[in-house]
Structures are given as C-alpha cells and as structure tokens.
Amino acid sequence: MNKKNKFRSSDWYNSKSNRRDTFVHRGWMRNQGHPSHLFDGRPVIGICNTWSELTPCNGHFREIADSVKKGVYEAGGFPLEFPVFSASESNLRPTAMLFRNLASMDVEEAIRGNPIDGVVLLMGCDKTTPSLLMGAGSVDLPTIGVSGGPMLNGHHKGDTIGSGTGVWQLDADLNAGLITEDEFIDAEISMSRSKGNCMTMGTASTMGSMVEALGMSLPGNAAIPAVDARRYALAHMSGKRIVEMVKDNLKISKIITKQSFENAIKINGAIGGSTNAVIHLAAIAGRLEIDLNLNDWEKCGKNIPTLVNLQPSGKYLMEDFYYAGGLPVVIKRLLDQKLLHKNCMTVNGKTISENNEIAKCWNDDVIKNFNDPLVADGGIKILRGNISPDGAIIKPSAATPELMKHKGKAVVFESIEELHARIDDPNLDVDEKSILVLKNCGPKGYPGMAEVGNMRLPQKLLKKGVRDMIRISDARMSGTAFGTVILHTAPEAAVKGPLAAVQNGDTIEIDVEKGLMNLLVSDEIIKKRLEKYEPVLPEINSGYQKMYVDHVLQADKGADLDFLIGKRGDEVKRHSH
C-alpha cells in the first residue's frame, strides 16, 4: 500500500516486516467471518460502546452501534465494536463518579492498544460522556461522539414528569405526607417510559449538549430522543463521517481548543446546564493539556441568560427542546449576539457558525429569546471566601432568588451518615433561615464526591411548607436537582479545607452576585479549629479506591487522578508475538 495512505491499523493487519505478527492479528479476527478485503488497509473504526443492561440509559446502544456500522461500511471503513466500563448513574455504588476516571483509563488503553484508526464514542448516562472524552482525549485519534439521546417525556396523572427532578419533588411530597407510598411507586414507569437517558436538563443532557457545543458531534446530536428514527440516522451519518475524518487526520485536538471550551461554558449557561459540567469539562481539558479553570467560568459565564426553559430550571423536557429546534437554535441565538467564537471547527469539517447559522426556532416558550430569557443572568456562579478559597459553585437558575443574598446560622453534619441520622430529628435546632452544611463528601472524603449536596430538608420544615434552604457542601448535586445549593467547595473538608472549621451555630454570609461566601469567624479561630480537626472518613486500605483517594485532585481541578492528566498519544511502545 502507498505509504502516504497508511493508517495506524496497517501496523497490525498489513505489516510485511513481521509476517507472524500479522498472521496472529489478522488471522484470529477471521474467526468472526470477516472477509479478506476488510483487511486491505481501509480505515478501521472502533465503536467504543458503553452498552450495559446495568446502565439502563445506555441499554439501546447495541442498536445505535448497528446504525454507526452501516455508515462506516458505506464510507469504505471497517467497523469494530468494543465494550468499555459503563458507569451507571442509577445503579453503581457508592457513586458512579468514583468510577469515571477508572472508565477513562479503560477507554484510553483500549483505544491505544488496538488496531483502531478512528473512534466513535457512544455515550449517554452522566459519567459515560466525560469518561469517554477523557480517555479518547489522552490518545487523540480522529474521534466523533454519538449520544444515546434522552427518554421521551414522562407523563403521570395528566402532567409531565421529569427524570430526577420529579423524584426529588415526589420524595418531598411523600415526606410531607402529601402522597402515599403506592402513588410514589406508581410514578416510576410513568417517568421512565422509553429508552434513553434522563430527559430533564440533567447531567446527561447537559453533557450531550457539551459534546455538540465542543464540536465533537454532528449538529443536532444533543436533543434527538433515543427512540426517534432521526437518532439512528445521525448515528449512521456519524459512522460515515468518521471514515472521512480518519482520511483527513482530523484529531480531537484540532476540534477541542480553549476557544471551544469558552463556547461550551456560554452554551451551558444558555441551556441552564448541570453544575457537573464544571468538573467534567475541567477533566476533559486536563487530558487535552488545555488550561481551563474556575476563572474561565467566571469570565465566560457572566451575563449569559438562561434561554432554555427545561426542568430543573424551567418547565419543559428534552423532547420539547428537540421539537423546538434543539441546541442549534441556542447556538444561533448566542452567535447572533456575537457571544461565541464562530470559527471553532467541528467534526463535520465546518465551523460552529456554518453549522448553526440557519437554525430555526419552532417554540419560543421552550427556547426563549434574549429579550425574554428564563433567567437574565444564568449559568454557574463561583463563590469564594474564607470557606472556599479555591472556589465553590452555585446554579442560580435552579435556586431561590430571595436566598441569593443571605446570612444564617449553620447546622452542621460531619458526614452523610450523620445527616441521614439527624435531619428528621424533631429536636434538630433548625429553621428555614438556617444554612445546612455537609462535610466529608468531596472527592477524597466520600470518596468519589457523591451527588448528595442537595440535602433533604428537615421533615419538620417540609411539613411547614418550606421547599428550599441554603445548603453548602464539598459534594456534587445531580443535574436534575434544584434548590439554593452550594457545591464543590474546595479544598474539601477531608483535606482540612476551611469548610471543616464550620461549627453548629456559626454565622455564614452569602452574596451570590458578589461571588462571596464567608464564615463570620476570625481567621485565628478557623486556624485553631483546623489544627484539631479529624475528618470522618471511611477506611480504605486497598484496591482501586485506595488508588483513587491517593491520587484524586480537588473539585476545581476536575477531580481527575493526578497521573492521568495530559495526552499520551496513540503510539504503542512495544508489542510481541
């Protein structure tokens, strides 16, 4: 074959220098019935699949992979599907986030170690999107993302019901005695009535939108429902396109740049995206050796209105978003305001502007206009002060406006177990002005930084009709949750960050507009308290969890493992047969 056109996989399948090697690589593949001509030096496309029956959001991915394969064959490539660790948000304990980095290692090594020239990433449930982008980013081959798409809207008792968001509401109603246990259970299948991922603007839909915002998918990828025929057409077209990307050597690093991250931060603000995007984008950027930090969220997120009226910030769901025109409309509206870097490249070889400039909106109540936004100043706000010197975050669009400037007494829980044990105690000294503080739920403390930051409110206040209070923690929150919840406090309590120094009855002052969060206690007392502080941590002495707690970075750095940062490329140093 012409050396100029030699693809990476030819070292496995077409090498003349080591005939025995070639026999082993190619020969064993023949047991699957692949005919000779598929090994003639054409691009080999890996389909990196997070399908698992234990990851229900990705349960339809074998069908999506079949559509991708059709496109790859049509374009003259050779598709090979392979499984990777699938981190299920709804099943995996103690928390799927603990395994995001482990999954990314699986992805990285599987791509690098195999005869693959280009990759299609099949992603859906929350952690499956960042783990695949992180792993693929460290290898940096031509890569295209295909999301699994959201479930159809939930319908229950004549109303729509959104994934996650509906659970938090029903749980509060059950605790307040407003519904029965049977009514609570009845809602399950009404909520999850089709294949796909959570159909609120939770983390899965946010990250699907980030894939499109970063230019890593074909336009329209974020919102097409999982069961819509157009999802399968997009998968087919993505299979076709990746073959061309391999021929053009269009790698991830040519698509994802600092500027595309800046676009993504703005688009996240406009969609009312999940707080988890902050941590995942930082981790993806780290793999691509791009400096992205909380200052970028501050700088780029400023004055971006939330336009998308979806739960948990608003009222609609992803199916409505798709019918209204989906993410291309949001991108066009930001482009019209000259808020985006319009020349950022995308996987189809066109710029973000070329892809979206003709998008049309079919429902201005679902995707609002700039002159009538859902929230005038949305996005993610960063809070700093003596509790969070390295930052904490809040999503104002999901919070109560009256609580954005607040002073209250702390009610402190040293661990998630203590919270569960005491939150419903009728003698708990708490009222609606109190601030709930939860410690030791950060990356090292939990470990894995669970989505427990939207603490359940005390039952006695729920019964009084209270539905929101300020909550502060070093944890994360589900993208489907809502409330005045301050998250990702860094450094975390487990490494003796100043959050650890907060005690019951201390006064905390918050001013979201000014980006401040302070404990009204002197520096000297905080220092003394920290010297004596003993974090409440689970004992972990071995296994993957030991490696995780020894190496995980703080939330503001993306909570990746320190030794995984960076690109390691696609070269295999040694091989043998």
- Binding stretches for ligand FES (CB under 6 A): 57, 89-90, 125-126, 163, 197-198, 202, 204
| Closer by beta carbon to ligand FES, 163 or else 268 | 163
446, 475 contact by CB (below 8 A): yes
| Closer by beta carbon to ligand FES, 138 or else 478 | 478
Nearest distance in Å: CB 574, ligand FES: 38
Q: In the numeric block, which tokens belong to residue 514?
A: 């000014």
Q: Which helix (H) or strand (E) holds 511?
A: strand 507-511
| Closer by beta carbon to ligand FES, 25 or else 231 | 231
Cα separations (Å) of 122 from 47, 59, 221?
7, 11, 11
Q: In the numeric block, which tokens belong to residue 477?
A: 């929150």
What are the counts of helices (DSSP H) followed by strands (DSSP E) for the chain? 20, 14
Nearest distance in Å: CB 158, ligand FES: 24
| Closer by beta carbon to ligand FES, 48 or else 392 | 48
| Closer by beta carbon to ligand FES, 198 or else 481 | 198
Nearest distance in Å: CB 57, ligand FES: 3
The tally of CA atoms less than 13 A away on the side-chain side of residue 31 is 5
Which residues are 472's β-sheet partners?
437, 486
310, 251 contact by CB (below 8 A): no
- Cα(106)–Cα(132) distance, integer angstroms: 9
Contacts of 490 (CB under 8 A, 6+ apart): 388, 389, 390, 391, 392, 442, 474, 497, 554, 555, 556
| Closer by beta carbon to ligand FES, 128 or else 260 | 128
Nearest distance in Å: CB 283, ligand FES: 18
| Closer by beta carbon to ligand FES, 53 or else 562 | 53
Nearest distance in Å: CB 470, ligand FES: 25
Amino acid at 54: L
Nearest distance in Å: CB 275, ligand FES: 15
Cα separations (Å) of 68 from 148, 285, 331, 437?
12, 27, 26, 47
Structure-token match 């959570």, residue found: 198
| Closer by beta carbon to ligand FES, 9 or else 200 | 200
Cβ count near 178 (within 10 Å):
12
Nearest distance in Å: CB 129, ligand FES: 9
| Closer by beta carbon to ligand FES, 103 or else 300 | 103
- Cα(163)–Cα(192) distance, integer angstroms: 7
- Cα(225)–Cα(222) distance, integer angstroms: 9
Structure-token match 């391999």, residue found: 246
Nearest distance in Å: CB 74, ligand FES: 30
| Closer by beta carbon to ligand FES, 130 or else 202 | 202
| Closer by beta carbon to ligand FES, 196 or else 215 | 196
Cα separations (Å) of 263 from 213, 238, 257, 340, 429?
7, 22, 10, 5, 45
Nearest distance in Å: CB 90, ligand FES: 4
Closest CA to 356 of 219, 243, 479: 219
Measured in whole angstroms, the distance separating CA 541 from the mean position of its chain's CA atoms is 29
375, 305 contact by CB (below 8 A): yes
Radius of gyration of the chain (CA): 24
| Closer by beta carbon to ligand FES, 435 or else 481 | 481
| Closer by beta carbon to ligand FES, 104 or else 263 | 104
Nearest distance in Å: CB 373, ligand FES: 26
Q: Which runs of E-coded beta strand occur in 1-134?
A: 44-49, 78-83, 118-123
Nearest distance in Å: CB 198, ligand FES: 3
Nearest distance in Å: CB 212, ligand FES: 16
390, 491 contact by CB (below 8 A): yes
Q: In the numeric block, which tokens belong to residue 542?
A: 């071995």
- Cα(19)–Cα(12) distance, integer angstroms: 10
- Cα(272)–Cα(468) distance, integer angstroms: 19
Nearest distance in Å: CB 138, ligand FES: 24
Q: What region does 333 belong to: left with phi over 0, alpha with psi -120 to 50, or beta?
A: alpha
